[in-house]
A and B are shown apart, each in its own frame.
Chain A
Amino acid sequence: MTTPPPPFPDLALMAVSPQAVLLITALVILCLDLLGKKIEKINITLTALTGVVAAYACTQGLSASDEAVFAGMVWRDGWSIYLDQLFLAGTALIVLLSHLYAERQQMDAYGEFTVLMLFATLGMMVVSISADLVTVFIGIELLSICLYVLTGFNKSSLASGEAAVKYFLLGAFSTGFFVYGLAFLFGVCHTTNLGAIGQAAAMEEGTPLLVLGFALVLAGLGFKISLVPFHMWAPDVYQGAPTPVTAWIAAGSKIAGFAALARIFSLPDLSFAPLGELWAEGIWLLSLATMIVGNAGALVQNDIKRLLAYSSVAHGGYLAMAFTARNTVGLEALFFYLAAYLFMTIGAFGIVMLARRNGEECCSLADFSGLAHQHPMLGALMAVFLFSLAGMPFTAGFVGKLWLFGAAIQAEYYVLAVTGILTTLLSFYYYLRVIVYMYMREPESGTVFDPPAASGVIATGMAALGIVVLGVFPNLVWKVLAAQMRGI
């Protein structure tokens, strides 16, 4: 891990094959977009899906190893394989939803839209394999810059333009903190290699410069995963961005942020040693504040996208709880919940896209009145996603929360676990409110919901299937995950 890199680094191309396939797919679509002015949207979608499936097939052929390749820049360990698969599964759903969105909006530049989505995914997958501060930084920036552009993609929409400016300015601001923190880590440890930093930091434990560096990194990444008090941008950006982009910001970029946090802070040997108690205290406070503010904020929302934004903030708090355990059990709970979170977030935003009345996307909760009467299928799917977000038994959200709270209790953070349970109970109120509107209210007279499009139904259906499978047979994923995590 810490041996100096060889004079000419060995290029273990197989280790990065999923990333390579995704990159090539994105470039092919870019060329297709240049060649024919009138290329059909369905062809772009199919090309993207083929690439994603091929990349997923590549992850199946990978074997986890502890060795860093590419001169110590890339780590193909168990959890990077798991995260890559998660990102690719999410991308497949997002591509399907983007297709639906582009058809509905008659988007001209659908090729560019898809390319940017794939590049954002590539950034996430770079984070998942990174074994070096430089790689983490490049990955985070690649995904952020693509998402800034995508947020402002609706050039004619005032909301989209404003959301892009807010997202960009706060994102760049957070990058400033992140990079300044990395500079201090480099200054204290004299290396950018994560493994070497872990060892050096364990020796320098408690150095003010080191603590400052880690704190700045935590603040920078806190913006990306919208931990309170760095969450202010989230509701505005989620509301203004095109809905498939919102889904990918909520799911993908948050998972990548947690992956980066786990990578940087869990060193060495997944024990979170360099910061010790200080780390636990810090993340304890952030997690507590995030759960309370996120859930309280969601209570008063009447816009569905803002409601889901606050719910996503709250979930960031639950996820951060896993770090207090400071061991492999906590990380396993985190990674399991990330899978659940991916499916329920993308699914819920997918239904927001599908449920359109009189040609307009439903914005307020009242717009959902009577959806379940006209389209029982959409109502049922949305109910699955909302129940899972709330944490009903037999859904992935329940199992995941159980493990997260279990990790906190095991680490003797009882206050945190109790707050988690209480805020979860609170969250039932606002999730059930949506369901009440869908099932028990009559729509205004003359309201006609558009017939749901096939691609959207397939995507949300698969997400719902994932939630139910994870909820009823969690061992399927758990066994794979545990084997990969402990195999490190």
Chain B
Amino acid sequence: MVSLNHYLLLSAVLFTLGVLGVMARKNALVILMSVELMLNAANLAIVAFIRYAPPLGGDAGLAYLQMAGNGMVFVFLILTVSAAEVGVGLAVVINLFRQRETVNIEIANLLKG
């Protein structure tokens, strides 16, 4: 039987992979993919929380519907916003590539001190 904890564990693994990817990799595009992994971990957690929510007090049916609708709209908004973020991010990375012919962030180290 798959329980809420299984989903939360999976989402934690996804999130950790994302964090490790951002920390360890030097390629801006791979870092971008790792960030997406982190956001998907959050989405997975929210959807799992909705699916396994205990019956809420009072008028349980209506309260559950409100909670579920609330959470799912949140998931859709996270999806769209992260799409917008990737759109801008790719443009920024392409600009870096045009300037330096590389997307390695270790080579781009003009600013320091």
Residues in A with CB closer than 8 Å to B32 are 169, 172
B85 engages A141 (CB within 8 Å): yes
Of A147-155, A319-327, A450-458, the one with at least 4 CB within 8 A of chain B: A147-155
Task: Name the residue of chain A whose CB is nearest to the CB of B59.
Answer: A4
Task: Name the residue of chain B whose CB is nearest to the CB of A151.
Answer: B92
Q: Mark A151-182, 1 if CB is under 8 A from B, else 0.
A: 01001001101111110110011011101101
A187 engages B45 (CB within 8 Å): yes
Within 8 Å of chain B (Cβ to Cβ): is A280?
no
Within 8 Å of chain B (Cβ to Cβ): is A478?
no
Within 8 Å of chain A (Cβ to Cβ): is B56?
yes
B53 engages A175 (CB within 8 Å): no
Residues in A with CB closer than 8 Å to B73 are 134
B96 engages A183 (CB within 8 Å): no
Within 8 Å of chain B (Cβ to Cβ): is A433?
no
Residues in A with CB closer than 8 Å to B10 are none
B39 to chain A, nearest CB (A): 6
Q: How far is the CA of A261 from the CA of B73 in the complex (A)?
A: 23
Tally A-B pairs: CB < 8 A: 136
Q: How far is the CA of A165 from the CA of B38 in the complex (A)?
A: 18
Set A161, A169, A190: member contacting B95, Cβ < 8 A? A161
A168 engages B113 (CB within 8 Å): no
Within 8 Å of chain A (Cβ to Cβ): is B13?
no
Q: Mark B42-60, 1 if CB is under 8 A from A, else 0.
A: 1101100100010010000
Q: How far is the CA of A186 from the CA of B74 in the complex (A)?
A: 10
Within 8 Å of chain B (Cβ to Cβ): is A339?
no
Q: How far is the CA of A159 from the CA of B100 in the complex (A)?
A: 11
B113 engages A303 (CB within 8 Å): yes
Q: Mark A6-29, 1 if CB is under 8 A from B, else 0.
A: 000000000000000000000000
B77 engages A137 (CB within 8 Å): yes
Residues in B with CB closer than 8 Å to A166 are 105, 108, 111
Q: How far is the CA of A5 from the CA of B69 in the complex (A)?
A: 12
Residues in B with CB closer than 8 Å to A141 are 81, 84-85
Task: Name the residue of chain B whose CB is nearest to the CB of A187.
Answer: B49
Interface residues on B, range: 35 or more
A145 engages B85 (CB within 8 Å): yes
Within 8 Å of chain B (Cβ to Cβ): is A411?
no
Interface residues on A, range: 35 or more
- B contacts with A: majority SS: helix
Residues in B with CB closer than 8 Å to A235 are 111, 113
B46 to chain A, nearest CB (A): 5
B45 engages A158 (CB within 8 Å): no
Residues in A with CB closer than 8 Å to B28 are 165, 169
B85 engages A175 (CB within 8 Å): yes
Residues in B with CB closer than 8 Å to A4 are 62-63, 66
A175 engages B111 (CB within 8 Å): no
Q: How far is the CA of A187 from the CA of B105 in the complex (A)?
A: 36
Q: How far is the CA of A235 from the CA of B88 in the complex (A)?
A: 22
A183 engages B42 (CB within 8 Å): yes
Q: Taking A173-B35, A175-B39 as contacts, is the C-beta distance between A192 and B70 under 8 angstroms? A: yes
B31 engages A169 (CB within 8 Å): yes
Q: How far is the CA of A477 from the CA of B56 in the complex (A)?
A: 45
A172 engages B85 (CB within 8 Å): yes
Q: Taking A141-B85, A192-B74, A301-B113 as contacts, is the C-beta distance between A186 and B46 under 8 angstroms? A: yes
B111 engages A162 (CB within 8 Å): yes
Residues in A with CB closer than 8 Å to B43 are 183
Within 8 Å of chain B (Cβ to Cβ): is A311?
no
Q: How far is the CA of A175 from the CA of B113 in the complex (A)?
A: 26
Q: Taking A141-B85, A161-B99, A186-B74 as contacts, is the C-beta distance between A236 and B92 under 8 angstroms? A: no
- Between-chain CB contacts (< 8 Å), 28 pairs: A4-B62, A134-B77, A137-B77, A137-B78, A141-B84, A149-B88, A149-B92, A158-B100, A161-B99, A161-B108, A168-B88, A169-B89, A172-B85, A172-B89, A175-B85, A176-B19, A176-B39, A176-B41, A183-B11, A183-B43, A183-B49, A186-B46, A186-B49, A186-B71, A187-B49, A190-B56, A191-B70, A192-B74
